[in-house]
Amino acid sequence: MSRYTTRVRNVVHRLVHSELPLAAPRVVFSLLLFVFSIVSGGLCLKVWTKHHTSQKHLNENLPSGISAGLAYQDVRTTSILLFVSNHLVTFLSSHIAIIILHDVFKIIPPFVLRRVLKKPPTKPLSSVTLPYQVAGLLGSSVCLVMSASFHTQFVFTRVGKLVVRQDGIEAVPETVAMVQSILDRLGFALRYRDVQYSEFPHPSAAFEEALMTGT
């Protein structure tokens, strides 16, 4: 245990006292951004699974020959954009952390660097790639903020649509009213905010801004 503790202390000491500017804070912010992006992407999946589960449970309680769908195309589109944006941030933050750690601990094998780079860099790799880091984080920040803004607006201002079919054709109003009553009895809501899509977190743009400032 003491040997493991000593190794950890040595790693932390090298990272904190590295000649690379703000190496430790940049690694910490990159890893935090990585974790928050994964969590946000996972909650996108929760939106889709929650909708699928609700729709399946509703159809299980309908009479034979009648099917119903809970249309939520607007929220689904924004959640897909959020999912893609979050995974773009996950990709960028993980690679930024690896590059910084390489500059401190030389973790990337030389043959990999020779394949990626045309010639060995004379400056730290994190400094050479700094413009690409800033451009990538700035672009992903814009995507995150825009998709999260639309998602939040849709959740708090829009309502889902109940689509009812009987024997493969659009159902008559009496059948739609009957399905609506079953929907109310089961406790399903059509307003997005009541379905708790509003629990979706805001993007971690603050971490990206701090990371870009630190770099």
Query: How high is the pLDDT of residue 121?
Result: 76
Residue 96: both structure tokens together: 């930024």
Residue 198 DSSP symbol = G
Q: What is the pLDDT of residue 197?
A: 60
Which sign does the torsion angle of CA 24, 25, 30, 31 carry? positive
At 1 the pLDDT is 52
Supply the pLDDT for residue 135. 94
Q: What local confidence, expressed as pLDDT, does residue 146 receive?
A: 93
Q: Residue-wise over 5-41: b if at least 16 C-beta within 10 A, else e?
A: eeeeeeeeeebeebebeebbebbbbbeebbebbbebb
Q: What is the pLDDT along the chain (215 residues), one digit of tens a residue?
A: 577 788 888 888 888 888 888 899 999 999 999 999 998 888 888 888 888 888 999 899 999 999 999 999 999 999 999 999 999 999 999 999 999 999 999 988 888 888 888 777 788 999 889 999 999 999 998 999 999 999 989 988 999 899 999 988 988 899 999 999 998 888 888 888 887 664 544 444 444 444 444 44
pLDDT value for 204: 43
Helix (H) or strand (E) holding 70: strand 66-71
Q: What would the two tokens of residue 76 be?
A: 């689904």
The per-residue pLDDT for 205 is: 43
Question: For the whole model, what pTM was predicted?
Answer: 0.81
